[in-house]
Amino acid sequence: MTYEALAEKYLAYVPDADMALLEKAYKFSENAHSAQTRASGEKYFSHCYAVADILLDYKLDQPTVCAALLHDVLEDTPVSTEQFNREFGEEITQLVLGVTKIEHFKFTSVDEETAENWRKMLLATAADVRVILIKLADRLHNMRTLQFLTRERQQSIAEETLTLYAPLAQRLGIFSLKAELEDLSFKAQHPAEYADLSAKLEATSAKRREVLESFRAELESRLAQSGIPHRVLARTKNLYSIYRKMQSQNRPFEEIQDSLGVRIITDTVANCYALVGLVHSHFKPLAGSFTDYIALPKMNLYQSLHTTVVSAAGDIVEVQLRTEEMHRTSEYGIAAHWRYKLGKAGKDAHFDEKINWLRQWIEWLQDLTSPREFLETLRTDMELQQVFVFTPKGEVKAIPKGSTTLDFAFAIHSEIGEHCFGARVNNKMVSLDYELKSGDICEILTRKNSSPRPDWVKIVRTGRSRSRIRRYLREHGLSED
């Protein structure tokens, strides 16, 4: 836990960096927290160090790593904001303020406190998305050391992690972090089931490795003949995703077959499609298993081709195909922006476009006044399952699974939503609460004198739609009841 170890890790990806600021942040945080200890008995600074170390794994810039070292100084020490700002400047101060909980305010409920802290953090994230990266790293280390807290506290933190932090990590495309947060939450909430599943996975690991290596060797021999540049990586599902599949399908572990998988990484999009054709020509694909997330990316920027095939030995294996750039985005998510910006002038030209959904989403959440509703909407809107629905002109819209035709109207444009009076799906008239499915062609019917009604709030599923409807009702003096 030395400054030298942190510095070495940072210099590995920014070799010519001036390290004075990082050294100053290290010493300042260590001194500020010198009298504090954690529930484990360790020095409190060990937590600050660990959060910075996690962000170094994602190759974040120096101000973010400094803010990680200092993230609890304003919340837990006598250092004032003014003094902090003088020492470290506006950029690092704003990052630390973004992750600092609201203090000196009496909340009437746990929901209210949780909602207001999330609202504050999300507003700071709208200005600088690095705020949420620090908060996710902070939560990850807290989850890794959860065993030192009371059982009740463990359960509460694990629940918030599973329903808010893990989905947010997924929404930002940081899959490795999301998977670890899920597994640690699963372990805290269901220790017996976690231990049982972990033991079963370990017991079959040798067999699984053998099956995977056999398939990989067979796959490599087939693909090598194509001359297309590629590399093949083995992939295993995290424990929680296997557990969730067991629950949803009501099947024992032994019957969950797609926990084996490989990734094929190549150089171009055209070669992704060429390679998936080769995979299908040599291995029988399972019907309905092919999904194209390259043509239709997920909301979190994720792109890949997915297919599930049967090996020569009869084993079922999921295959994902992507380019090197898609793989980087999958590994680092939104953090990839800073990784590849380091040492270069200017911003990623597409970065604002990539996080525009986050800013819009935060704007919609501001209209919610009830803390419980704010948290419920937050949880609902972070669910990443989506369906792809077409307009009559052939344009495709990705909307959350469970969305209604009224949600689709607001997804096209707020004015379309406000003047919607009906919908036609696949050339048949349907109600406004009709739930859309992937592949549906939805035509929204509008008229000038149609306007939102109070009962529309209960029809829609997304925060965006609910926010627009409520705004209209308020502006026109209408009550929801």
As to burial, measured by CB atoms within 10 angstroms (0-12 exposed, 13-18 middle, 19+ buried), residue 218 is middle
Task: List C-alpha distances in Å: 329 to 59, 323, 362.
Answer: 13, 10, 23
- Angstrom distance (rounded) from CA 77 to CA 343: 34
Q: Helices 175-189 and 151-160, interaxial angle, to 10°? A: 150
Sign of CA dihedral 429, 432, 433, 438: positive
Q: Residue 262 in 3-state DSSP?
A: strand
75 annotated active-site: yes
- Angstrom distance (rounded) from CA 196 to CA 209: 20
Compute CA 417 distance to the chain's CA centroid, rounded to the nearest angstrom.
Answer: 28
For residue 334, give the DSSP letter: G
- Angstrom distance (rounded) from CA 255 to CA 260: 12
Out of 23, 42, 76, 218, pick the active-site residue. 76
Amino acid at 325: E
Cβ 304 vs Cβ 321: under 8 Å: yes
Q: Residue 435 in 3-state DSSP?
A: strand
CA-wise closest residue to 51 among 69, 64, 66, 27: 69
Out of 75, 87, 112, 160, pick the active-site residue. 75
**Half-sphere exposure of 92 toward its Cβ, with a 13 Å CA cutoff?**
26
Compute CA 362 distance to the chain's CA centroid, rounded to the nearest angstrom.
Answer: 15
- Angstrom distance (rounded) from CA 259 to CA 318: 8
State the catalytic residues. 75-76
